[in-house]
Amino acid sequence: MLSKIQHFFQTLHRVTLKVSDGLTQSFRIGLVLLVLAYAVGMVWFIYFADRVSISNHTVLVLDLQGPLVEESPGGLRDKVLGELQGESSDSVRLRDLQMALALAEKDPRIDQVLLKLDDFKGAGLASLREAALAIEKFRASGKPVLAWSAGYDQRQYYLAAHASQVGVHPLGTVLIEGFGRQRNYYKDALDKLGIEANLIRVGQYKSAGEPFVLNRPSEQALKAEAHVYDALWKLYTDGIEHARQLPMGSVMQRIDSLPSALQAAHGDAGQLVKDWKWVDQLQTFEALRQNLMDTVGKDDEGKTFRQVGFRDYLQSQFKPVKGAHIAVIVAQGEIGDGRAPAGKIGGLSTADLVRSASEDEEVKAIVLRVNSPGGSVLGSELIRDQLRIAREKGKPVVVSMGDVAASGGYWISMAADQVWADAATVTGSIGVFAMLPTGEGLMRKLGVSTGGYRTTWLAGAYDPRKTLDPRVQALVQSGIDHVYADFIAKTAQARKLEVAQVDELAQGRIWTGAQAQAHRLVDQVGTFNDAVEAARQLAGQSDDKALPIKYRGPKVSKVQRWVQQFLMEVLMQADSGSAQSALKSWAQGGMPGSLAEDLIWLQALTEHTQAYTAAAHCLCQITP
C-alpha cells in the first residue's frame, strides 16, 4: 500500500512539472498547491473508500451522458480538447449499460430503473438495438423502466420507447426526423482556388472522395445509400412501433401528417405526441422525483428518492475474472498504422492485443468487437494477420460487428472463424482509394513558381505545388489496383466465394448486416452475446460460468484516471489566458469543424511513412 501511495505522488509530481512548464511562477505555485490539496483527499478515496452501500427498494438511475460507445476514449489530449471547446468528454460504454441492467434484473434491492436521457448523444442503430434489447430483458423480470427527458431526439427516443413508461416535459416533444445526410461538394471551390483533387480509386461505389471531384452525388452513391438508408429506416420504425405497440407504418404516417396535426393541436407538440401514444406522461422531472419518493421512499437525507447511479452500482458489483476465459478485444474508430489509446485502433497496438491474447493459455477463444469505418490498409492488415496467426495457434476467433464494420473494418474481420453482425450494422465497402491534391493553379494565382535540380524523376515526384506527374498517377493506380485485388482475393478465400462474386459485391458498396448475410459476406445476424456464445461453442464450452468474458485493452490505472480528471479541472479553472491558449494549441493538434470531418480520410494518408499509399475507408458512419 505504501509503495502505491509513493508511486501516486511521484506521478503527480511529474505531471505537475510537465504541465507547469512555461507558466508563470505564481501559477506554478498555485498549481502545486492544488495538486497537494487534491492528492490528500484522493489518496484516501482511491485506496480506502468503501464500496457503495445499496438499500432495499432502490432505483437504478441510468443517467446516460454522452455517446454510447464500445470503448471510452483514453487519450488525455482528446479529453482536454473537448473541455476547452466546451464539449463534454463523457461517454457510456455499451457493455456497462448492459451489465448494469443484467445485474439489477436479479438484484432484489433494485426495484426499478430510471432512464434519464437529456444528455444522451446516441449511437449507431446497431448499438441502440443492443441497448434496447438489454432494457427489454430487464423489463421481462417484472421490474419497470421509467424513461424521462425534457425532449427526445430520435436516438434518445429509440431507447425511451422500450421503457415501461415514457415521460417528457410538458413543453417538450419527440422529434423523429428520419435518416439521411447532406454532404458538401467542393469541386467548384477547388477549381476557383486552382486546386485539383486527383482522386484515384477502385470501385464504382467507392464514394469517399467524390465531394472533392464532383458538384453533386453520383448516381451510384445515391443508389447505394438509398439501399442502406431505407433498410435502416425500416428497422428503426419497426422497432419503435413494436416497442410502443403502435400500428405498423404509423411512424411514417405521423411524420407525413405532422404540419396539419401540429396545427390542429394548436402548436402543443407535447400533447400531440401523447395523443399519438409516443409518450405516456407529460410531467416535470420534479413531479417524477416526488412520485418516486412516494413509491420507493426517500434517501437517507430525505431530499430525493432512494437511488444508485449505474457506475457506482457496477463498482459495487465488480468481480475480477480469473482463470480460463474468452478474451474480448474492442476495435473502435479510425484505423491507423501505429499505436493508439483506448477508444481508437492502431495497427501495431491492436495487433499486440491480439498477439497477447493468442499467447495467453487462459484465453480459450477471442471475440473481436469491430466498430470501425476503416482507414489504413497497412494497419488493417497488421490486425488481420495477427488474428490469422491466433487461429493457427488453435484459438477460435469470432468477430462481432457493431454500428460500422466497413472497408478497413471489414478487412480486419476476414480472419475470423465466424462473423456476426447486427441487422443494422453498416458493412462491406470493399474498395480502395487514394487522393493526391495538387495546386499548380493556386500557385499561378499567387505568382509563385517552383523549380530545382533532381537526380531522378522520382525525387519529389509528388509535389502538391505542381500538376500531378502521370508517372506518379500510374504508380498510385497500380498500388490501388493491387490492394483491391488483394482485398477481394482475401474476402473470397475467407467467405468461400469466387473472386468474381466478391468483385460484384464489392466495388466500394455498403450493405446492412442483414443484406450482407444474404450475400454471404457475414455468417450470422445476431447480438454481441450471440457472438460470445458462438465463441464458447467453438472453444468446446457453453457454460457461461465456466467460461466468462474478459476485456483486454490498454491498462489505465485509477491514478491515471484521476490525474486526467484532475488536470482537466485545474486547466479549466486556470486564470492564465496564455496558459489556456497554449494548452488549447497543444490539445487541438488538428483542424476543428465540419471541414475536418470531411477531410478525415487524410489522416489515413498523411500518417504513412510510405511515399504512395492507399486508404480503405468508407466514410459511412450512419447514425440515427
Q: Report d(CA 253, CA 141) in Å as an integer.
A: 33
Are residues 11 and 79 both part of a single domain?
no
Asked whether the CA dihedral 566, 568, 569, 575 is positive or negative, the reply is: positive
307 lies in some domain = yes
Active site residues: 206, 407
Where is average pLDDT lowest: 136-145, 147-156, 174-183, 386-395?
A: 174-183
Distance CA 306, CA 54 (A): 9
**Residue 229: all three cell numbers together:** 438508408
Instruction: Report the residue count for the chain.
Output: 624
Q: Are 205 and 484 in contact (CB under 8 A)?
A: no
Q: How far apart are CA 145 and CA 133, in angstroms?
A: 13
Q: Are 564 and 541 in a shared domain?
A: no
HSE of 184, CA atoms in CB hemisphere, 13 A: 10
Residue 13 reports pLDDT greater than 50 = yes
Angle at 102 between CA 98 and CA 106, to 5 degrees: 165
User: Each residue of 269-280: pLDDT tens digit?
Assistant: 999 999 999 999
Range 4-27 average pLDDT: 54
Is residue 528 in a domain? yes
pLDDT of 188: 94
d(CA 566, CA 182): 40
In a domain, 229, yes or no: yes
Judge if 481 and 499 occupy the same domain: yes
Per-residue DSSP letters for 390-459? Answer: HHHTT--EEEEEEEEEETHHHHTTTT-SEEEE-TT-EEE---EEEE--B-HHHHHHHT-------SSTTT
**φ/ψ (deg, to 5) at 120:** -80, 125
Q: What is the CATH number of the domain that holds 65?
A: 3.90.226.10
Q: Quick one: pLDDT at residue 30? A: 55
Here the cell at position 604 is: 489515413
Please check whether residue 188 lies inside any domain of the structure. Answer: no
Distance CA 358, CA 389 (A): 8
Cα 422 to chain centroid distance, Å, stands at: 15
The DSSP call for residue 460 is T
Q: Residue 281 in contact with residue 168, Cβ under 8 Å?
A: yes
C-alpha cell of 67?
455517446
Confidence grade of residue 77 (pLDDT, cut at 50, 70, 90): low
**374-411 pLDDT, tens per residue?**
989 999 999 999 999 999 999 999 999 999 999 999 99
Q: Are 372 and 402 in contact (CB under 8 A)?
A: no
- 43 and 85 together in one domain: no
**608 is a domain residue:** no
Q: What is the pLDDT of residue 42?
A: 52
Asked if 121 and 45 sit in the same domain, the reply is no
Q: Which residue has the cell 467524390?
A: 210
| Rounded mean pLDDT, 221-232 | 93
Number of domains in the chain: 3
Section 3-9 average pLDDT? 51
Q: Are 486 and 567 in the same domain? A: no
CA gap 167, 38 in Å, rounded:
40
Report which of residues 487 and 623 the model is more confident about: 487
- Binning pLDDT at 50, 70 and 90, where does residue 592 land? very low
Do 379 and 491 share a structural domain?
Answer: yes
What type of residue sits at position 117? L
Verify that 123 and 253 share a domain, yes or no.
yes
Give yes or no: residues 479 and 562 share one domain.
Answer: no
Rg (CA), the chain: 26
Considering the domain boundaries, does residue 542 fall inside one?
yes
Domain boundaries, position 71: 58-180+222-313
| Residue 535, burial from CB neighbour count under 10 angstroms (0-12, 13-18, 19+) | buried
Any domain includes 454: no
Q: Are residues 277 and 394 in the same domain?
A: no
The amino acid sitting at 524 is: Q
* pLDDT tens digits, one per residue of 159-170: 999 999 999 999
Residue 204 lies in a domain: no
- Whether residue 78 contacts residue 110, with contact meaning beta carbons closer than 8 Å, is answered with no
Residues 376 and 241 occupy one common structural domain: no
Torsion of CA 542, 326, 491, 613, to 10 degrees: 170
> Model confidence over 352-367: pLDDT tens digits?
999 999 999 999 999 9
Helix (H), strand (E) counts: the chain? 25, 25
Beta bridge partners of 438: 196
Of the candidates 193, 215, 211, 213, the one whose C-alpha atom is nearest the C-alpha of residue 599 is 211
CA distance linking residue 188 with residue 193, whole number of Å: 9
Q: Are residues 80 and 13 in the same domain?
A: no
